[in-house]
Structure 1
Amino acid sequence: MDTQTQTELEAAAFRRLLKHLDERKDVQNIDLMELAGFCRNCLSKWYMEAAQERGLDVDKDTAREMVYGMPYEEWKARYQKPR
């Protein structure tokens, strides 16, 4: 498999993961962290770091909005359950 195809498949898988997480707002970040060792915040951090490695100015809030599909504070207010 050539590098371009691999990159496209990885990007498609990442988009599908984001879609799946968006469809499962009932799954809390703490549950993801406990079971899988990562959460939506981890994904946004990895996204931000990858962008910065390429010289792009993507801050934490922008990366979180990309992962959550809305501003993080709005997502928390709507979907985060009290512990």
Structure 2
Amino acid sequence: MTESDFETVQIEAAVFRRLLQHLLHERADVQNIDLMIHAGFCRNCLSDWYREAAEQRGITMTKDEAREMVYGMPFAQWKAQHQKDATPEQLAAFEAAQKQHGG
């Protein structure tokens, strides 16, 4: 790995940490369903990607461990503190988004 490659990895890691900080502390009010509707991914997707990347590097990680890395706390705790039931409008928008994007 060149020094430039190392710097790129460091920058990417910092950006990822900033995204998590933003989702955890600045926009915990944004529901996962809204992220899915508008961006096509949510916090759970990030935790799945995190676990997959770890496993590609030979690091075994459970779904719960990966979610705790992304949520900053056990998922059940985050869910109890921040997650609201999806509204009928959100569910309809999610279904429409899934159909539009082949999900």
Amino acid of the structure 2 residue aligned with 1:71:
P
What's 2:5 paired with? 3
What's 1:73 paired with? 76
Amino acid of the structure 1 residue aligned with 2:9:
T
Secondary structure at the aligned position of 1:2 is classed as helix
Tell me how many residue pairs correspond in the alignment.
83
Unaligned runs of 5+ in 2: 87-103
Identity of aligned residues (%): 61
Alpha-carbon distance in 1 for matches of 2:45, 2:17: 15
TM-score computed with the length of structure 2 as normaliser: 0.78
Deviation of 1:50 after TM superposition, in Å, equals 0.2
Deviation of 1:78 after TM superposition, in Å, equals 1.0
Alignment of 1:36 onto 2:39:
yes
Higher relative contact order by CA 8 Å / sep ≥ 6: 1 or 2? 2
TM-score computed with the length of structure 1 as normaliser: 0.96
CA RMSD of aligned residues (A): 1.0
Deviation of 1:82 after TM superposition, in Å, equals 1.2
Instruction: Please identify runs of 4+ aligned residues in structure 1 that moved more than 6 A.
Output: none
Between Structure 1 and Structure 2, whose CA radius of gyration is higher?
Answer: 2
Deviation of 1:27 after TM superposition, in Å, equals 0.2
| 1:35-79: CA deviation from partner (whole Å, max 9, x where unpaired) | 011100000000000000000011110000000000001111111
Amino acid of the structure 2 residue aligned with 1:19:
Q
Alpha-carbon distance in 1 for matches of 2:65, 2:85: 25
Unaligned runs of 5+ in 1: none
